Every structure is written in structure tokens, then in C-alpha cells.
């Protein structure tokens, strides 16, 4: 067993032995297995209406044209996010991705499950990590979110369909154009998809990753693609 796994196990064991405190603020938590206090959960902010009907981006005026989704492939029909990526949600996402706290997928999926527009008969497809990154982390946070969401919305998960061919690195410092070039052909499929698929990820940053994954699935045979993420980054101005 690797050191990182031992540390993770020790942290998990500690949670069960000590009185529970919130991962983010250290306040006491209610149920024995709760990871976040009710105060921290209440600070997660739902995205306001009105939103772009396609990509779910809040728009100050619904008659304004959206700058995010015009370049998406035709069959990528809609994306929605549960909460803003901000100081309230960011620490939980960080613990989910880097701290080994995969059980945080439960309260996050609870928010994602409240979103409307769950296409009937669809399958949930978590955005994959590259093999190397998944080995380092021990799990794919998007897959944990998809599994928790599956229990709530009653749609099955297919985690083997989409593969990540290469690392796309940290994209936060790239321009939108550079991000699109960076992500191009990042995915492949293991078999020909059919029907309607719902991509699942932790954060919607520019939508470029989701659009590229959707394009890969549509080119391989999927009829329609939707997407849902826990959080959405506020678009940078300019």
C-alpha cells in the first residue's frame, strides 16, 4: 500500500473515531458520517435565473446571446450546474479531488439531483481522468459524483465508455482559444455509444472539456449529449 493510501485511510479512520467536525470550518457536524456542517452546506449558492437555455449560463438579460455555447457540436443539447464555484464551494471540491474525501460526492450529487431536465433512458458518463492521474488520486472524482447521482436520479453509469487519451494540464491560465487547442482530441471511446448520454463532471470552467467530450461521443454514434456539473466558474470579464 502506498503512503498516500495510508494517509487517506488514517484520515478516514479518524473521522469515525473522533467527534465529527466540518472539513471546511471545523464546526461540529450533525450525523456521524456528515463531512460538512449545515452552515457550510447552506453557503453553496444555486445559479440564478434566467439562464442560457442551452448551456445554463446565467444571463443578466435572457434576450442577450450567449458567448459560451455557440461553438458546441449540434447534438450537445444542454448543460447545467448546481452551484457557483466560489469561496463556499471551492474548499469542498478541493477535498473531493485532492484530499481523498470522495464521500463529499454525496452532498454534491444531492444538489445536482435537484436540477431539472433528466432525459429518460439516458446513461451517465463521468469525464475521465488520464490513467496516470487516476492512479495518483486513487479514484476519479467525476465517477464518484456520477455514482452518487445515479442513486438519486435512477440513471445508470457507464464509466468505461470514454477514455482520456492525454493530460490536458492545468488550464486556468490559458486563453479560451488556447484551452480549445489544448483539449482537442483529448478523448476517445472504447465502444460505439448509442442513445442519450449525460456527461458528469465536478466543475464547468469554460465548457471546452465538456464540448470536446460531447463531440467525441457524438462522432462515435451517440444521439444526444447533455452535461451536468456540481459547480460553475464565473466567466472572466473581457
Q: Is the peptide bond before 50 cis (omega within 30 degrees of 0)?
A: yes
CB 146 within 8 A of CB 157: yes
30/221 with CB nearer Zn ion: 30
Task: Note whether 161 binds Zn ion by CB under 5 A.
Answer: no
Provide, rounded to whole angstroms, the least separation between the CB of residue 44 and Zn ion: 11
Task: Note whether 225 binds Zn ion by CB under 5 A.
Answer: no
Provide, rounded to whole angstroms, the least separation between the CB of residue 65 and Zn ion: 8
| Pair type for strands 187-189 and 162-164 | antiparallel
69/85 with CB nearer Zn ion: 69
Residue 201 DSSP code: E
Task: Note whether 123 binds Zn ion by CB under 5 A.
Answer: no
Distance CA 98, CA 89 (A): 14
| Pair type for strands 196-204 and 187-189 | unpaired
Task: Note whether 40 binds Zn ion by CB under 5 A.
Answer: yes
**Which residue among 34, 35, 55, 215 contacts Zn ion (CB under 5 A)?**
55
Distance CA 23, CA 20 (A): 9
Stretch in the footprint of Zn ion (CB under 5 A) among 16-24, 137-145, 169-177, 202-210: 16-24
Distance CA 75, CA 224 (A): 5
Work out the end-to-end distance of the chain between its first and last CA atoms, rounded to an integer number of angstroms. Answer: 48
> Hey, which residues between 68 and 107 contact Zn ion (CB under 5 A)?
68-69
Q: Considering CB under 5 A, how many residues would be counted as binding Zn ion?
A: 13
**Which residue among 22, 112, 145, 186 contacts Zn ion (CB under 5 A)?**
22
C-alpha cell belonging to residue 187: 478523448
38/175 with CB nearer Zn ion: 38
Stretch in the footprint of Zn ion (CB under 5 A) among 17-25, 132-140, 156-164, 196-204: 17-25
Provide, rounded to whole angstroms, the least separation between the CB of residue 89 and Zn ion: 12
54/180 with CB nearer Zn ion: 54
Question: Which residue blocks in the chain are alpha helix, DSSP H?
Answer: 3-17, 38-42, 90-98, 105-112, 131-137, 141-153, 176-183, 208-220
**Which residue among 43, 45, 47, 54 contacts Zn ion (CB under 5 A)?**
54
Amino acid at each position: 500500500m502506498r503512503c498516500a493510501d495510508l494517509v487517506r485511510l488514517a484520515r478516514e479512520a479518524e473521522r469515525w473515531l473522533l467527534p465529527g467536525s466540518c472539513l471546511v470550518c471545523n464546526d461540529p457536524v450533525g450525523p456521524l458520517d456528515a463531512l460538512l456542517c449545515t452552515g457550510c452546506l447552506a453557503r453553496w449558492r444555486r445559479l440564478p435565473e434566467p439562464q442560457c437555455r442551452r448551456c445554463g449560463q446565467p444571463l443578466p438579460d435572457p434576450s442577450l446571446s450567449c458567448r459560451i455555447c455557440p461553438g458546441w457540436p449540434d447534438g450537445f443539447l444542454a448543460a447545467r450546474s448546481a452551484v457557483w464555484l466560489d469561496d463556499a464551494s471551492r474548499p469542498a471540491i478541493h477535498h473531493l479531488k485532492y484530499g481523498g474525501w470522495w464521500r463529499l460526492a454525496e452532498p454534491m450529487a444531492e444538489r445536482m439531483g435537484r436540477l431539472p431536465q433528466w432525459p429518460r433512458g439516458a446513461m451517465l458518463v463521468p469525464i475521465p481522468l488520464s490513467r496516470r492521474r487516476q492512479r495518483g488520486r486513487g479514484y476519479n472524482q467525476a465517477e464518484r459524483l456520477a455514482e452518487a447521482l445515479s442513486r438519486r436520479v435512477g440513471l445508470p453509469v457507464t464509466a468505461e465508455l470514454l477514455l482520456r487519451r492525454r493530460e490536458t494540464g492545468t488550464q486556468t491560465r490559458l486563453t479560451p482559444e488556447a484551452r480549445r487547442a489544448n483539449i482537442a482530441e483529448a478523448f476517445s471511446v472504447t465502444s460505439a455509444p448509442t442513445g442519450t448520454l449525460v456527461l458528469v463532471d465536478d466543475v464547468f470552467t469554460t465548457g471546452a472539456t465538456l464540448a470536446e467530450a460531447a463531440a467525441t461521443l457524438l462522432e462515435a454514434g451517440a444521439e444526444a449529449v447533455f452535461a451536468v456539473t456540481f459547480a460553475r466558474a464565473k466567466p472572466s470579464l473581457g
